[in-house]
């Protein structure tokens, strides 16, 4: 059992991981091994102390060097669910489960609104995890909504199982796909079905019949990730110690609210890590 599971490899997650490492805590740190796109894609950063007119690429490279030099390990993947147990948490990453005494949510903000019908049909044909649920759609017709090229290997995996895949990507230049993958140009606007997914509605007014919908996003809404987590105006509610309403669960960075800034994320990651250390010591 790990001391802490950190979810998210942006500045908040990195700051928490560094501080827990310095204090010799065992950590499972899950997210993208290339860290946060919101760092690498910034054109110019003028408000990060010590970095004078740096580009996002500069800051991201510095973060990457620090991850290596501090011997931090990233488990590359998306956490699809966090399960509160009696005195610890279980987190699902693909088909793997990890257990930790505490959790730090450093997941940034969900930039895309959830689709109409998505929440109600979650687990009833809507899935966020190709590895977990792909086998259920062997020989079936599915839709995949993909927000980042780094998830394309999951689309390929699904296309090897399903007989037909309708793929919508929110970026251009989609990589090579199998013959059974049809790229949609109209944007999905809703997911249809009563007790199971039956189709998706598109922005051109048409509907396509599908058996399941996989949504491969960079971030999952906090209430979907951890049902029961308390929100405040759409952000995770925390106190000054970065504690959420759930015992042993902390949050840091953009997911706790504005301003959306690197230094706030780094500061909150630090506070969350120290709160975890206090909690573990009790
Ligand atoms: P993020 O950086 O968003 O990192 C969260 C990470 O968690 C992401 O990698 C995400 O994929 C991952 N994640 C989410 N859910 C899961 C899950 N379920 N499982 C695993 N991983 C998950 N701020 C400034 O202060 N100065 C600037 O100049 C500036 N410029 C910016 C320019 C651009 C183009 C953008 C987009 C943002 C800019 N910002 C700037 C804002 C800054 O990027 C954010 O405030 C900061 O990155 C927040 O850090 P974070 O760690 O909270 O979240």
DSSP readout, 41-98? T-S-B-SSTT-SSB-HHHHHHHHHHHHHHTT---EES-EEEEEE-SSSEEEEETTEEE
Among the listed residues 105, 102, 157, 100, the one whose alpha carbon sits nearest the alpha carbon of residue 127: 157
The structure's pTM equals 0.86
Q: Ligand 1 centroid to 113 CA: how many Å?
A: 17
Q: Ligand 1 centroid to 75 CA: how many Å?
A: 18
Closest ligand 1 atom, residue 259 Cα: 45
Among the listed residues 104, 82, 109, 108, the one whose alpha carbon sits nearest the alpha carbon of residue 269: 104
Residues 174 and 271 in one domain: no
Residues 106 and 224 in one domain: yes
- Overall domain count for the chain: 2
27-57 residues labelled b (16+ CB within 10 A) or e (exposed): bbbbbbeebbbbbbebeebeebeeeeebebe
| Tens digit of each residue's pLDDT, the chain (282 residues) | 999 999 999 999 999 999 999 999 999 999 999 998 889 888 888 899 999 888 999 999 999 999 999 999 999 999 999 999 999 999 999 889 999 999 999 999 876 667 999 988 988 999 888 887 899 999 999 999 998 898 899 999 999 999 999 999 999 999 999 999 999 999 999 999 999 999 999 999 999 999 999 999 877 889 889 999 999 988 999 999 999 999 999 999 999 999 999 999 999 999 999 999 999 998
- Is the distance from CB of 203 to CB of 186 less than 8 angstroms? yes
116 assigned to some structural domain: no
Q: Which residue among 6, 8, 59 is best mutated to probe the pocket of ligand 1, counting the most ligand atoms within 8 A of its Cβ?
A: 8
Q: Ligand 1 centroid to 196 CA: how many Å?
A: 34
pLDDT of residue 212: 96
Q: Whose CA is nearest to atom 41 of ligand 1?
A: 261
- Is the distance from CB of 202 to CB of 218 less than 8 angstroms? no
176 assigned to some structural domain: yes
Closest ligand 1 atom, residue 35 Cα: 9
């Amino acid at each position: 059992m790990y001391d802490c599971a950190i979810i998210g490899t942006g500045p908040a997650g990195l700051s928490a991981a560094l501080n827990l490492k310095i204090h010799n805590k065992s950590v499972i740190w899950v997210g993208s091994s290339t860290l946060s796109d919101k760092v690498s894609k910034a054109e110019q950063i003028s408000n990060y102390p010590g970095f004078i007119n740096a580009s996002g690429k500069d800051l991201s490279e510095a973060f990457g060097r620090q991850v290596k030099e501090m011997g931090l390990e990233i488990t590359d993947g998306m956490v699809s669910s966090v399960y509160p147990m009696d005195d610890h948490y279980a987190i699902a990453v693909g088909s793997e489960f990890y257990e930790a005494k505490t959790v730090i949510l450093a997941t940034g903000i969900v930039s895309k609104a959830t689709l109409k019908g998505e929440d109600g049909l979650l687990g009833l044909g809507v899935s966020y995890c190709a590895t977990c649920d792909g086998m259920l759609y062997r020989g079936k017709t599915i839709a995949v909504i993909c927000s980042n090229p780094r998830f394309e290997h999951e689309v390929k995996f699904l296309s090897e199982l399903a007989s037909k895949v309708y793929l919508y990507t929110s970026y251009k230049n989609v990589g090579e796909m199998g013959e059974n993958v049809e790229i949609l140009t109209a944007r999905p606007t809703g997911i249809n079905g009563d007790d199971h997914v039956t189709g998706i509605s598109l922005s051109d007014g048409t509907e396509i019949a599908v058996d399941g919908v996989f949504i491969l996003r960079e971030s999952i809404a906090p209430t979907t990730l951890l049902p029961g987590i308390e929100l405040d105006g759409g952000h995770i509610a925390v106190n000054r110690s970065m504690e959420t309403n759930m015992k042993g669960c902390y949050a840091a960075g953009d997911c706790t609210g504005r301003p959306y800034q690197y230094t706030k994320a780094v500061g909150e990651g630090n506070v969350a890590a120290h709160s975890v250390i206090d909690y573990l010591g009790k």
